[in-house]
């Protein structure tokens, strides 16, 4: 059965999701899991690509952007809704969804990072209802 985890942050700044995202990525790498991150758009994907490289000077989180020839074998792939149409993820493990679109139902676990910004909270509520209707096991975490 698929699972959807919603992590509610106290901040209203969408960028406050990035440190938590990187901590989750570290855990996924340690557990040898593959992760597909759906960014809002190409600009966020590019920003997050740089952010992950610079997250901790003493650590290394290898990742690629969707469309890269190495994306099929990468542990962490960054994409956005347009790349999902042309470059489908090959794994079915974890999807971290930062976009306004629902994550594809192929993933065993979907993670949503929710900030206290009205538009993003409304999207999270819609996603919560949709994943619930699809039969996902729902988990809610206050961070």
Domain ranges of the chain: 3-142
Query: Domain 3-142 is of which CATH architecture?
Result: 3-Layer(aba) Sandwich (3.40)
**Residue 21: what pLDDT?**
96
Answer whether 72's CB lies under 8 Å from 13's CB.
no
Q: Which tens digits make up the pLDDT trace of 43-102? A: 999 999 999 998 888 878 889 898 766 666 788 999 999 888 777 777 889 999 999 999
Q: Name the DSSP letter for residue 12.
A: -
pLDDT, mean over the chain: 91
Distances (CA, A) of 39 to 4, 31, 59, 74: 17, 23, 22, 17
Q: Which tens digits make up the pLDDT trace of 58-74? A: 878 889 898 766 666 78
pTM metric for this prediction: 0.92
Answer whether 60's CB lies under 8 Å from 101's CB.
no
Answer whether 120's CB lies under 8 Å from 114's CB.
yes
């Amino acid at each position: 059965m698929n699972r959807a985890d919603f992590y509610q942050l106290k901040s209203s700044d969408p960028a406050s999701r990035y440190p938590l995202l990187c901590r989750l990525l570290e855990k996924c790498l340690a557990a040898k899991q593959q992760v597909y991150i759906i960014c809002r758009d190409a600009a966020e994907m590019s920003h997050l690509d740089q952010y992950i490289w610079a997250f901790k000077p003493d650590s290394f989180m290898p990742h690629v952007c969707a469309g890269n020839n190495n994306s099929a074998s990468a542990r962490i792939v960054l994409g956005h809704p347009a790349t999902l149409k042309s470059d489908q993820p090959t794994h079915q493990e974890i999807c971290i969804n930062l976009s306004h679109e629902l994550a594809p139902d192929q993933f065993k676990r979907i993670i949503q990072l929710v900030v206290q910004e009205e538009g993003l909270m409304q999207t999270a509520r819609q996603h919560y209802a949709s994943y619930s209707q699809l039969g996902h096991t729902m988990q809610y975490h206050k961070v």
